[in-house]
Amino acid sequence: MKFIIIVVLILLLLCSMCRVVPQNNEGLIETLGKYSRTVKAGLVLIIPVIQRLRKVSLAMFPAEISKYSIITKDNAEITTSLTLNYLVTDSYKYFYNNTDSVKSMVELIRGHLRDIIGRMDLNDALGSTSSINSQLSDAIGDLTDIYGIRVVRVNIDELLPSTEIQKAMDKQLTADREKIAAIEKAEGEAKNIELTTKAKNDALIATAKAKAEAVKTEAEAEAYRIDQLQASLAKASDGYFKNQSLDSFNNLAKGPNNLIVVNKDDLTNLGSIPATAKIWHEATKDNE
Protein backbone atom coordinates (compact mmCIF):
# COMPACT_ATOMS: atom_id res chain seq x y z
CA MET A 1 0.00 0.00 0.00
CA LYS A 2 2.79 2.40 0.88
CA PHE A 3 4.54 1.46 -2.36
CA ILE A 4 1.49 2.37 -4.38
CA ILE A 5 1.22 5.72 -2.61
CA ILE A 6 4.88 6.45 -3.30
CA VAL A 7 4.48 5.55 -6.96
CA VAL A 8 1.45 7.80 -7.26
CA LEU A 9 3.31 10.68 -5.62
CA ILE A 10 6.26 10.17 -7.94
CA LEU A 11 3.93 10.19 -10.97
CA LEU A 12 2.22 13.35 -9.74
CA LEU A 13 5.61 14.98 -9.21
CA LEU A 14 6.74 14.01 -12.70
CA CYS A 15 3.50 15.35 -14.16
CA SER A 16 3.93 18.64 -12.34
CA MET A 17 7.46 18.86 -13.65
CA CYS A 18 6.44 18.37 -17.27
CA ARG A 19 5.14 21.26 -19.33
CA VAL A 20 4.41 21.43 -23.07
CA VAL A 21 5.10 24.59 -25.11
CA PRO A 22 2.87 24.54 -28.25
CA GLN A 23 4.10 25.06 -31.77
CA ASN A 24 4.89 28.70 -32.70
CA ASN A 25 5.17 29.63 -29.02
CA GLU A 26 8.03 30.33 -26.63
CA GLY A 27 8.20 29.61 -22.92
CA LEU A 28 9.55 31.93 -20.25
CA ILE A 29 10.70 30.08 -17.16
CA GLU A 30 10.75 31.97 -13.89
CA THR A 31 12.53 30.70 -10.81
CA LEU A 32 11.11 32.08 -7.60
CA GLY A 33 9.47 34.83 -9.63
CA LYS A 34 12.63 35.80 -11.51
CA TYR A 35 13.22 35.15 -15.20
CA SER A 36 15.76 32.41 -15.72
CA ARG A 37 15.58 31.25 -19.35
CA THR A 38 13.55 31.04 -22.57
CA VAL A 39 12.60 27.69 -24.03
CA LYS A 40 11.31 26.69 -27.45
CA ALA A 41 8.24 24.68 -28.37
CA GLY A 42 8.16 21.13 -27.03
CA LEU A 43 8.39 19.31 -23.70
CA VAL A 44 9.90 21.32 -20.88
CA LEU A 45 10.83 20.21 -17.38
CA ILE A 46 10.51 22.61 -14.48
CA ILE A 47 10.88 22.40 -10.75
CA PRO A 48 7.43 22.39 -9.23
CA VAL A 49 6.55 25.21 -6.84
CA ILE A 50 9.94 26.85 -7.39
CA GLN A 51 9.64 27.45 -11.13
CA ARG A 52 6.84 28.69 -13.35
CA LEU A 53 6.35 28.56 -17.14
CA ARG A 54 4.80 31.48 -19.07
CA LYS A 55 3.80 30.87 -22.68
CA VAL A 56 4.09 33.61 -25.33
CA SER A 57 2.57 33.16 -28.82
CA LEU A 58 4.76 34.08 -31.78
CA ALA A 59 1.87 33.92 -34.27
CA MET A 60 0.69 36.99 -36.16
CA PHE A 61 -2.12 38.95 -34.54
CA PRO A 62 -4.63 41.30 -36.18
CA ALA A 63 -5.52 44.49 -34.34
CA GLU A 64 -7.91 47.35 -34.95
CA ILE A 65 -7.39 50.91 -33.81
CA SER A 66 -10.86 52.35 -33.37
CA LYS A 67 -11.93 55.74 -34.68
CA TYR A 68 -10.29 58.77 -33.15
CA SER A 69 -9.95 62.44 -34.13
CA ILE A 70 -6.93 64.18 -35.65
CA ILE A 71 -6.51 67.88 -36.43
CA THR A 72 -4.97 68.74 -39.79
CA LYS A 73 -2.60 71.60 -40.59
CA ASP A 74 -5.51 73.87 -41.57
CA ASN A 75 -7.34 73.09 -38.31
CA ALA A 76 -9.85 70.69 -39.83
CA GLU A 77 -10.99 67.74 -37.75
CA ILE A 78 -10.96 64.30 -39.32
CA THR A 79 -11.73 60.87 -37.92
CA THR A 80 -9.55 57.90 -38.76
CA SER A 81 -9.40 54.18 -38.05
CA LEU A 82 -6.63 51.68 -38.73
CA THR A 83 -6.04 47.96 -38.92
CA LEU A 84 -2.66 46.32 -38.46
CA ASN A 85 -0.93 42.98 -38.15
CA TYR A 86 1.88 42.39 -35.69
CA LEU A 87 3.85 39.53 -34.21
CA VAL A 88 6.08 39.03 -31.19
CA THR A 89 9.75 38.90 -32.07
CA ASP A 90 11.19 38.88 -28.55
CA SER A 91 9.09 37.20 -25.91
CA TYR A 92 11.27 38.52 -23.05
CA LYS A 93 10.81 42.20 -24.09
CA TYR A 94 7.15 41.62 -24.87
CA PHE A 95 6.37 40.19 -21.45
CA TYR A 96 8.79 41.94 -19.09
CA ASN A 97 9.65 45.34 -20.60
CA ASN A 98 6.11 46.68 -20.59
CA THR A 99 2.97 46.03 -18.66
CA ASP A 100 0.93 46.14 -21.93
CA SER A 101 3.16 46.05 -24.99
CA VAL A 102 0.22 45.95 -27.44
CA LYS A 103 -1.37 49.06 -25.96
CA SER A 104 1.99 50.85 -26.00
CA MET A 105 2.44 49.90 -29.68
CA VAL A 106 -1.03 51.23 -30.51
CA GLU A 107 -0.33 54.54 -28.76
CA LEU A 108 2.97 54.83 -30.61
CA ILE A 109 1.21 54.35 -33.95
CA ARG A 110 -1.49 56.85 -33.03
CA GLY A 111 1.09 59.47 -32.12
CA HIS A 112 3.01 59.09 -35.38
CA LEU A 113 -0.22 59.21 -37.39
CA ARG A 114 -1.23 62.43 -35.66
CA ASP A 115 2.17 63.90 -36.48
CA ILE A 116 1.95 62.91 -40.17
CA ILE A 117 -1.60 64.13 -40.75
CA GLY A 118 -1.01 67.22 -38.58
CA ARG A 119 1.52 68.41 -41.17
CA MET A 120 -0.96 68.07 -44.05
CA ASP A 121 -3.91 70.13 -45.23
CA LEU A 122 -7.34 68.52 -45.24
CA ASN A 123 -7.51 68.01 -49.00
CA ASP A 124 -3.99 66.57 -49.09
CA ALA A 125 -4.76 64.18 -46.25
CA LEU A 126 -8.02 62.93 -47.77
CA GLY A 127 -6.34 62.22 -51.08
CA SER A 128 -3.10 60.68 -49.79
CA THR A 129 -4.07 57.50 -47.95
CA SER A 130 -1.41 55.39 -49.64
CA SER A 131 1.26 58.01 -48.95
CA ILE A 132 0.21 58.22 -45.28
CA ASN A 133 0.40 54.42 -44.96
CA SER A 134 3.91 54.45 -46.37
CA GLN A 135 5.04 57.31 -44.13
CA LEU A 136 3.54 55.64 -41.07
CA SER A 137 5.28 52.34 -41.79
CA ASP A 138 8.61 54.14 -42.20
CA ALA A 139 8.03 56.21 -39.06
CA ILE A 140 7.33 53.33 -36.69
CA GLY A 141 9.99 51.17 -38.33
CA ASP A 142 11.95 49.42 -35.58
CA LEU A 143 10.55 51.61 -32.79
CA THR A 144 8.22 48.85 -31.66
CA ASP A 145 11.24 46.61 -31.15
CA ILE A 146 11.52 47.93 -27.59
CA TYR A 147 8.22 46.13 -26.93
CA GLY A 148 9.43 42.94 -28.61
CA ILE A 149 6.89 43.49 -31.40
CA ARG A 150 7.21 43.96 -35.14
CA VAL A 151 4.37 45.56 -37.11
CA VAL A 152 4.05 43.63 -40.35
CA ARG A 153 1.31 45.68 -41.94
CA VAL A 154 -0.56 48.87 -41.10
CA ASN A 155 -3.41 50.28 -43.13
CA ILE A 156 -5.67 53.31 -42.79
CA ASP A 157 -9.21 52.10 -43.33
CA GLU A 158 -10.86 55.50 -43.53
CA LEU A 159 -10.28 59.22 -43.21
CA LEU A 160 -13.52 61.10 -42.65
CA PRO A 161 -13.95 64.83 -42.13
CA SER A 162 -16.28 66.07 -39.42
CA THR A 163 -20.00 66.38 -40.11
CA GLU A 164 -19.82 70.16 -40.51
CA ILE A 165 -16.89 69.95 -42.90
CA GLN A 166 -18.59 67.16 -44.84
CA LYS A 167 -21.72 69.31 -45.29
CA ALA A 168 -19.58 72.24 -46.45
CA MET A 169 -17.72 69.97 -48.87
CA ASP A 170 -21.01 68.61 -50.21
CA LYS A 171 -22.30 72.14 -50.78
CA GLN A 172 -19.07 73.10 -52.51
CA LEU A 173 -19.19 69.98 -54.64
CA THR A 174 -22.80 70.69 -55.60
CA ALA A 175 -21.94 74.30 -56.45
CA ASP A 176 -18.97 73.18 -58.55
CA ARG A 177 -21.12 70.66 -60.41
CA GLU A 178 -23.82 73.26 -61.08
CA LYS A 179 -21.18 75.69 -62.27
CA ILE A 180 -19.69 73.11 -64.61
CA ALA A 181 -23.17 72.22 -65.88
CA ALA A 182 -23.99 75.90 -66.50
CA ILE A 183 -20.70 76.40 -68.34
CA GLU A 184 -21.26 73.31 -70.46
CA LYS A 185 -24.83 74.44 -71.24
CA ALA A 186 -23.62 77.92 -72.24
CA GLU A 187 -20.85 76.44 -74.34
CA GLY A 188 -23.37 74.10 -75.98
CA GLU A 189 -25.73 76.97 -76.80
CA ALA A 190 -22.86 79.08 -78.11
CA LYS A 191 -21.70 76.16 -80.24
CA ASN A 192 -25.24 75.64 -81.52
CA ILE A 193 -25.52 79.33 -82.45
CA GLU A 194 -22.14 79.18 -84.13
CA LEU A 195 -23.10 76.10 -86.14
CA THR A 196 -26.50 77.58 -87.06
CA THR A 197 -24.91 80.86 -88.17
CA LYS A 198 -22.29 78.98 -90.12
CA ALA A 199 -24.97 76.86 -91.80
CA LYS A 200 -26.94 79.97 -92.80
CA ASN A 201 -23.81 81.68 -94.07
CA ASP A 202 -22.85 78.59 -96.01
CA ALA A 203 -26.34 78.46 -97.51
CA LEU A 204 -26.18 82.13 -98.52
CA ILE A 205 -22.73 81.63 -100.01
CA ALA A 206 -23.90 78.53 -101.85
CA THR A 207 -26.96 80.40 -103.19
CA ALA A 208 -24.81 83.35 -104.28
CA LYS A 209 -22.36 80.99 -105.94
CA ALA A 210 -25.22 79.21 -107.72
CA LYS A 211 -26.65 82.51 -108.95
CA ALA A 212 -23.25 83.70 -110.06
CA GLU A 213 -22.70 80.41 -111.84
CA ALA A 214 -26.09 80.72 -113.54
CA VAL A 215 -25.33 84.30 -114.67
CA LYS A 216 -21.94 83.16 -115.87
CA THR A 217 -23.47 80.26 -117.75
CA GLU A 218 -26.13 82.53 -119.29
CA ALA A 219 -23.49 85.11 -120.27
CA GLU A 220 -21.34 82.40 -121.81
CA ALA A 221 -24.35 81.07 -123.70
CA GLU A 222 -25.20 84.58 -124.99
CA ALA A 223 -21.57 85.18 -125.93
CA TYR A 224 -21.54 81.86 -127.75
CA ARG A 225 -24.76 82.76 -129.60
CA ILE A 226 -23.34 86.13 -130.62
CA ASP A 227 -20.09 84.52 -131.74
CA GLN A 228 -22.00 82.01 -133.83
CA LEU A 229 -24.20 84.76 -135.28
CA GLN A 230 -21.22 86.90 -136.11
CA ALA A 231 -19.49 83.94 -137.68
CA SER A 232 -22.58 83.21 -139.77
CA LEU A 233 -22.92 86.86 -140.79
CA ALA A 234 -19.28 86.98 -141.71
CA LYS A 235 -19.87 84.14 -144.17
CA ALA A 236 -23.10 85.63 -145.61
CA SER A 237 -23.08 87.49 -149.06
CA ASP A 238 -24.23 91.07 -149.71
CA GLY A 239 -27.37 89.82 -151.42
CA TYR A 240 -28.43 88.13 -148.23
CA PHE A 241 -28.21 91.38 -146.31
CA LYS A 242 -30.13 93.25 -149.05
CA ASN A 243 -32.91 90.67 -148.99
CA GLN A 244 -33.08 90.92 -145.23
CA SER A 245 -33.32 94.69 -145.50
CA LEU A 246 -36.13 94.47 -148.01
CA ASP A 247 -38.03 92.02 -145.82
CA SER A 248 -37.64 94.40 -142.90
CA PHE A 249 -38.89 97.32 -144.99
CA ASN A 250 -41.88 95.25 -146.09
CA ASN A 251 -42.78 94.45 -142.48
CA LEU A 252 -42.42 98.08 -141.46
CA ALA A 253 -44.56 99.23 -144.37
CA LYS A 254 -47.42 97.03 -143.15
CA GLY A 255 -47.56 98.94 -139.91
CA PRO A 256 -49.34 102.24 -139.13
CA ASN A 257 -46.16 104.26 -139.70
CA ASN A 258 -45.21 104.53 -143.35
CA LEU A 259 -42.34 106.96 -143.03
CA ILE A 260 -39.07 105.11 -143.50
CA VAL A 261 -35.63 106.65 -143.49
CA VAL A 262 -33.08 104.70 -145.51
CA ASN A 263 -29.66 105.20 -146.94
CA LYS A 264 -29.54 106.64 -150.46
CA ASP A 265 -27.63 103.60 -151.63
CA ASP A 266 -30.70 101.49 -150.96
CA LEU A 267 -33.21 103.66 -152.82
CA THR A 268 -33.08 101.49 -155.91
CA ASN A 269 -34.39 98.56 -153.88
CA LEU A 270 -37.31 100.36 -152.30
CA GLY A 271 -39.66 99.83 -155.22
CA SER A 272 -40.70 96.50 -153.82
CA ILE A 273 -42.10 98.15 -150.70
CA PRO A 274 -45.67 99.46 -151.32
CA ALA A 275 -45.59 102.47 -149.05
CA THR A 276 -42.18 103.49 -150.25
CA ALA A 277 -43.19 103.10 -153.91
CA LYS A 278 -46.22 105.27 -153.40
CA ILE A 279 -44.16 107.98 -151.80
CA TRP A 280 -41.61 107.70 -154.58
CA HIS A 281 -44.23 108.05 -157.38
CA GLU A 282 -45.86 111.05 -155.73
CA ALA A 283 -42.53 112.76 -155.36
CA THR A 284 -41.77 112.08 -159.06
CA LYS A 285 -45.06 113.62 -160.21
CA ASP A 286 -44.42 116.79 -158.24
CA ASN A 287 -41.03 117.14 -159.84
CA GLU A 288 -42.53 116.83 -163.33
pLDDT block averages, 10 residues each, the chain of length 288: 72 76 90 90 86 90 86 86 90 88 88 88 83 85 84 86 69 71 81 84 84 84 76 63 59 60 54 45 47
Q: Which of 79, 73, 76, 69 is nearest to 120 (CA)?
A: 73
Position 262 scores a pLDDT of 58
Position 26 scores a pLDDT of 92
d(CA 205, CA 174): 46
- Percent helix, strand, coil in the chain, to 5, is 60, 20, 15
Q: Which helix (H) or strand (E) holds 64?
A: strand 61-71
Position 25 scores a pLDDT of 92
d(CA 264, CA 259): 15
Position 263 scores a pLDDT of 58
Position 265 scores a pLDDT of 56
